[in-house]
Chain A
Amino acid sequence: MNKVAVIDYGMGNLHSVAKAVEYVGKNVTVSVTSDANTILQADHVIFPGVGAIRDCMGEILRLGIDEIVAEVVRNKPLLAVCVGMQALMDNSEENNGVKCLGMVSGRVRYFGNAQGSETGALTDEQGKRLKVPHMGWNMVKQTDKHPLWAGIEDNSRFYFVHSYYVELGAQEKASGVTEYGVPFTAALNKGNIFAVQFHPEKSQHSGLQLLRNFLAWDGSI
């Protein structure tokens, strides 16, 4: 039996990710929980997140999720999704600056203040204004051969919805890159951590395949 824990810290819809895991998993039990024991006894842990980073970090610290996540990644695979990925970084520009978990070095930046843009507005290569949030299906260029990409074609489209993106520290490894006015880290890996900015649970075939790969992954590369 593959025990999967989806970490619940009171932020948003965890039903979707739990349902998607149940849908692709064989012999899987999924718990949506903030209980340390349940999470630490799981075989695979998912760290989701939606909403504003200040509220997310507030709940993460209040419930001691920071310590649980640090413990999890010592010996089991962790999949961080969307704001869950952002929470792993050093800090975020959102809400006038929020200190994050610092488990992966880098920072979280707003799309609207893209570097190199004179007006501060985000634009595409033709200079056309881009909407923020970045919402919808965009391509992910795979930058490594990580096991979580198994069976997923390079440049497949995944569903994104976010206004902030991860800018990785120089020593960290991106697994996937997407362009939206700026190139940004759509997926990263670090030891037992795989983190994605997009929503695999909402990305139909490619997303479900990534979840299937995660359930089969033992954390090594």
Chain B
Amino acid sequence: MALAKRIIPCLDCDKGRVVKGVKFLDIRDAGDPVEISKRYSDAGADEITFLDITASSEGRETTVHTVEAIASQVFIPLTVGGGIRTLEDIRTMLNAGADKVSINTAAVFNPEFVREAAERFGSQCIVVAMDAKKVSAAGEPNRWEIFTHGGRKATGIDAVEWAKRMVNYGAGEILLTSMDRDGTKSGFDLALNKAVSESVSVPIIASGGVGNLQDLVDGVLLGQADAVLAASIFHFGEFSIPQAKRYMADKGITMRL
């Protein structure tokens, strides 16, 4: 009897449509986040993360409706991230049916926001997303920094220290993305993940770089992740969620099968 490690598919959405070309072989309308969330939930996804990349405010209205629609039909935890900047944004998403919100840039610009959010809504629904990039030179001890703007802007903030601080402020979970690995399909940055996981008490979701099922296993066993987030390997139908869970279970990881 043990807590299962989680597999979390991530949907990047723009104006209520899934982008990054999600392709299920057997659905015609591949861009509908409600349909896709249902598919993943039926396939055994342990949670869904919905990342809103919509820029306009009208578009964000659509996002709220999409979250409502997902929450009416999908009965596993739903995290909504992207553009969460105010307590009002959090309230709107929780009222729409999100179980957690993920705060990224707003935490960097105003760390107190995380504290206020956790105090008001409880740590259980506050995920801090951090985008980290390795800044140490070869031969030096590993060091990672927090980056913003999709990995383009350095902040000078040490990633491990940042994670500790965010947990002190009340983050209930850390979504840790390696900007070096994101989109490369070369596996998670395991050293980064392990360093952060060992330094904080809360669960870590590893993200960025999954190319195959062994990467998921390594994320848990070597990177000490409590959950693994992946988009493209599932979206393109390369691997299914049941296949991934079975593979991980065969390697000795406790999964919900």
Which residues of A come within 8 Å of B, CB atoms?
12-13, 15-16, 19-20, 22-23, 50-52, 112, 124, 130-139, 141, 155, 157, 159-163, 178-180, 199, 201-204, 207-208
**Which residue of B4, B5, B75, B203 is within 8 Å of A133 (Cβ)?**
B203
**Chain B proximity of A57: nearest CB distance (Å):** 14
The prevalent SS among residues of A at the interface is mixed
Interface centre among B3, B46, B72, B227 (most CB of A within 10 A): B3
B237 at the interface (CB under 8 A from A): no
A-B contact pairs, 29 of them (CB 8 A): A12-B122, A13-B97, A13-B98, A13-B99, A15-B94, A22-B72, A23-B73, A23-B75, A50-B124, A51-B121, A131-B202, A131-B226, A132-B202, A133-B124, A135-B173, A135-B202, A136-B5, A136-B203, A137-B6, A138-B2, A138-B3, A139-B1, A139-B2, A163-B123, A179-B2, A201-B75, A202-B76, A204-B75, A208-B75
Q: How far is the CA of A20 from the CA of B201 in the complex (A)?
A: 31
Interface 1/0 per residue, B1-28 and A, CB below 8 Å = 1111110000000000000000000000
In angstroms, Cα B201 to Cα A130, docked, is: 8
Q: Is the CB of B94 within 8 A of A12?
A: yes
- Are A13 and B95 interface neighbours, CB within 8 A? yes
Contact B4 A157 (CB under 8 A): yes
Tell me whether A51 and B46 are in contact in the complex, defined as CB-CB below 8 angstroms, given that A131-B226, A138-B4, A159-B77 are known contacts: no
Kindly state whether residue B195 has any CB partner on chain A within 8 Å: no
For residue B71, CB closer than 8 A to chain A, the reply is: yes
* Count of chain B residues near A, Cβ 8 A: 35
Question: In chain A, what residue has the closest Cβ to B77?
Answer: A202
| Other-chain residue from B3, B41, B71, B76 in contact with A134 (beta carbon distance below 8 A) | B3
Q: Smallest CB-CB separation from A157: which chain B residue? A: B256
Tell me the smallest distance from the CB of A83 to a CB of chain B, in Å. 9
Q: Is the CB of A135 within 8 A of B172?
A: yes
* Given A133-B172, A135-B124, 14 more pairs with CB closer than 8 A: A12-B94, A15-B96, A15-B97, A16-B75, A23-B72, A23-B73, A131-B202, A132-B201, A133-B202, A135-B173, A136-B46, A136-B203, A137-B256, A202-B77
CB distance from B3 to the nearest CB of A (A): 5
> Contact check: which of A12, A52, A180 meets B3 at CB < 8 Å?
A180
The docked-state distance in angstroms from the alpha carbon of A201 to that of B226 is 22
In the complex, A199→B75 CA distance in Å?
A: 10
Pairwise interchain contact A159-B122, C-beta atoms closer than 8 A:
no
* B88-111 interface with A by 8 A CB criterion: 94-99
Does B125 count as interface, using CB distance less than 8 angstroms?
A: yes
Contacts of A112 in B (CB 8 A): 201
CA distance A35 to B166 in the complex (A): 38
**Taking the nearest CB of chain A, how far is it from the CB of B72, in angstroms?**
5
Residue of B nearest to A203 (CB): B75
The B24-47 residues at the A interface (CB cut-off 8 A) are 41, 46
A124 cross-chain contacts in B, Cβ below 8 A: 2
Complex formed: what's the CA distance from A202 to B256 in Å? Answer: 14
B95 in complex: contacting residue of A15, A161, A180, CB < 8 Å: A15
Shortest beta-carbon distance, A47 to chain B, in Å? Answer: 17
Complex CA gap A159/B75 in Å reads 10
What is the bound-complex CA distance between A38 and B8, given in angstroms?
A: 38
Q: Nearest B residue to A24 by beta-carbon distance?
A: B75
Nearest Cβ on chain A to B186's Cβ, whole angstroms: 27
**A155 adjacent to B122 (CB under 8 Å):** no
CA A201 to CA B97, docked complex, whole Å: 11
Top 7 A-B pairs, shortest CB-CB distance: A51-B122, A137-B256, A13-B94, A137-B4, A15-B97, A161-B124, A157-B256
Which residues of chain A are within 8 angstroms of B122 by Cβ–Cβ distance? 12, 50-52
Task: Evaluate contact between A136 and B172: CB separation under 8 angstroms.
Answer: no
B257: nearest chain-A partner, CB-CB: A157
What 0/1 pattern do residues 33 to 63 of B give for CB contact below 8 A with A?
0000000010000100000000000000000
Of listed B5, B124, B172, residue having the most chain A CB within 10 A = B124
A50 to B68, CA, bound (A): 19
CA–CA, A22 to B75, complex, Å? 12
Distance in angstroms from B151 CB to nearest chain A CB is 27
A138 to B202, CA, bound (A): 16
